[in-house]
Structure 1
Amino acid sequence: MRRLVPALLAVPLLALAAPASAAPGDFEVVTASGVFGSAAPAYTYQPDLVPAGATARVFAASAPELGTSVTLLVTGLRADREYGAHAHTRPCGASGTNAGPHYQKQVDPVSPSVDPAYANPENEIWLDLTTDRTGTGIGATHVGWQFDTDRRAGSVVVHETHTHTDPGHAGTAGARLACLNVTF
């Protein structure tokens, strides 16, 4: 439970810390939730690892002086298992590839991006998690930037493994298991 409390408080604490001088629209809060199945807003592509009926919730808050905090809470996944999760550029669809690549603040000119200079937790939203004995898990991150107003992420994709960081594999996390539409 100790591990869950700081992660669950990350977004609310950022919200409380929003500067009084922030102009309207500078501070943003985004939430999304869904039950995994075969249609929007939450798709499962491998029901043996992300069963139909499992749930996901995303909470995000951002402000210019503070950056962006994102928390992913999942329930009903396979117990005692590591998963990767990232913000992706487009909304979910019938195939995991519909979500596009990872959202990157500084976009790698080479695709797919496996260069640690671009595919890293400071330039992308990484929400890796490990489920407990009940299949519940939480991933949280904070980056020092906000999404661009004209270029935002459209989903969070749950992947097969924790995210790799080594050159040539940076940012990879195996197959796309599930996807939740999030309007960042």
Structure 2
Amino acid sequence: MVAGICAGALAAVVLAVGSGDGAGGYSMRTDARFAPPGAFVRSAALTYDTELVPAAAWIEVEQRMTSGGATSVRLRVAGMRAGHRYGVHVHEKPCGADPDAAGGHYQHEASSAAHHVTAENEIWLDFTADERGAGEARARHSWGFRQGEASSVVLHEKPGSKGGRVGCFTVPFGWAA
């Protein structure tokens, strides 16, 4: 197991190769505290709407991948707006000061057709924050990410594929070989 601190002072990553489900699997867990773009102390997690994603709210993303390429992604958060329903998806590019920097949703079968914007073709991690602002979601698929094409988790103001981008977390996702 290898542990380290990301470029941002407010993010930690733990990677384990060969210790996922079955020989040669992959496991990764990373967490951070949200900060506004341009904050003095930089973070891999950015808030674009401090009403819905308060500065210092916490996010954790975990990925497990079997040697066969099946992938599970788990999201946990704390400090969000209590009772709010969030849409969350894996996106193609890393986060940036501009909410659109993360690009579009990662899709297993890449397409701009509306019938491909589904929880079966994308990683959807929608959740409703409880009375303390905590939430959790998990997605499982028989497929894995393509190298370099899944780079962040974006929080949207509404569940499903709707709503503006209110937060973003750059994540070092592993890919299927």
Give the alignment's TM-score, normalised by structure 2: 0.80
Q: Provide the C-alpha distance between the structure 2 equivalents of 1:17 and 1:153, rounded to a whole number of angstroms.
A: 19
- Equivalent residue runs for 1:130-169 within 5 Å: 130-148=128-146, 150-163=147-160
Structure 1 unmatched ranges of 5 or more: 1-14, 164-171
2:43 aligned with 1:54: no
Matched with 2:11 is: none
2:37 aligned with 1:34: no
RMSD: 1.8
- Cα distance 1:82–1:47, how it changes in 2: closer, same or farther (>3 A)? same
Question: Cα offset for 1:152?
Answer: 3.0
Matched with 2:167 is: 178
Question: Cα offset for 1:83?
Answer: 0.3
Whether contact under 8 Å (2:73, 2:138) holds in the other structure is yes
Matched with 2:118 is: 120
- Cα distance 1:142–1:102, how it changes in 2: closer, same or farther (>3 A)? same
Question: Cα offset for 1:105?
Answer: 1.0
Question: Cα offset for 1:90?
Answer: 0.5
2:72 aligned with 1:69: yes
Question: Cα offset for 1:32?
Answer: 1.6
1:78 counterpart letter in structure 2: R
4+ aligned runs moved over 4 Å, structure 1: none
Q: Provide the C-alpha distance between the structure 1 equivalents of 2:84 and 2:70, rounded to a whole number of angstroms.
A: 30
Q: Which has the higher contact order (CA 8 A, sep 6+)?
A: 1
- Cα distance 1:105–1:34, how it changes in 2: closer, same or farther (>3 A)? same
What secondary structure sits across from 1:36 in the alignment?
strand
Question: Cα offset for 1:142?
Answer: 0.5
2:84 aligned with 1:86: no
- Cα distance 1:176–1:61, how it changes in 2: closer, same or farther (>3 A)? same
Q: Provide the C-alpha distance between the structure 2 equivalents of 1:63 and 1:146, rounded to a whole number of angstroms.
A: 9
Count of aligned pairs between the two proteins: 151
1:44 counterpart letter in structure 2: T
Structure 2 unmatched ranges of 5 or more: 1-17, 37-41
Question: Cα offset for 1:146?
Answer: 1.0
2:135 counterpart letter in structure 1: G
- Percent identity for Structure 1 against Structure 2: 37
Q: Which stretch shifts more, 58-67 or 94-103?
A: 58-67
Whether contact under 8 Å (2:59, 2:77) holds in the other structure is yes
